[in-house]
Amino acid sequence: QPDNIVYVMDASIGQACEAQAKAFKDKVDVASVIVTKLDGHAKGGGALSAVAATKSPIIFIGTGEHIDDFEPFKTQPFISKLLGMGDIEGLIDKVNELKLDDNEALIEKLKHGKL
């Protein structure tokens, strides 16, 4: 018996996800959800339907083609992007990943939205 059955959904299928997630849940005991293809045009609104249909939390989101493109699910940035408000936290994380330690002035300007 598996400890954690994961329903992996494609964000691009939209609201059709609810019926698919419910059918999956009717056959197996889903414990968590992973949402993929969030790097494209899909906002992931169907993910909310999948959570409701499976009564299971989202644990990861996929934002690219590689295994290291899976990110732990964070509610606030996900909802902000879903509502078209952008993901400021994600932008700051990306800037920090650039490792521009030798240019502190540029980093400070970026953090404060000044270029």
CATH at residue 75: 3.40.50.300
Mean pLDDT taken over the chain: 81
- Note the pLDDT tens digit of each residue in 9-32: 988 887 788 899 999 999 999 999
Q: Is residue 106 located within the same domain as residue 75?
A: no
Q: Is residue 108 located within the same domain as residue 77?
A: no
DSSP string over 71-110: EE--HHHHHHHHTT---HHHHHHHHHHT--TT-HHHHHHH
Phi and psi, residue 53, nearest 5°: -70, -35
The total number of structural domains in the chain stands at 2
pTM value > 0.75: no
DSSP string over 4-55: -EEEEEEGGGGGGHHHHHHHHHHHS-EEEEEEE-TTSS---THHHHHHHHHT
Q: Is residue 96 located within the same domain as residue 79?
A: no
Q: Is residue 55 located within the same domain as residue 101?
A: no
Q: Is residue 40 located within the same domain as residue 63?
A: yes
Q: Is residue 28 located within the same domain as residue 51?
A: yes
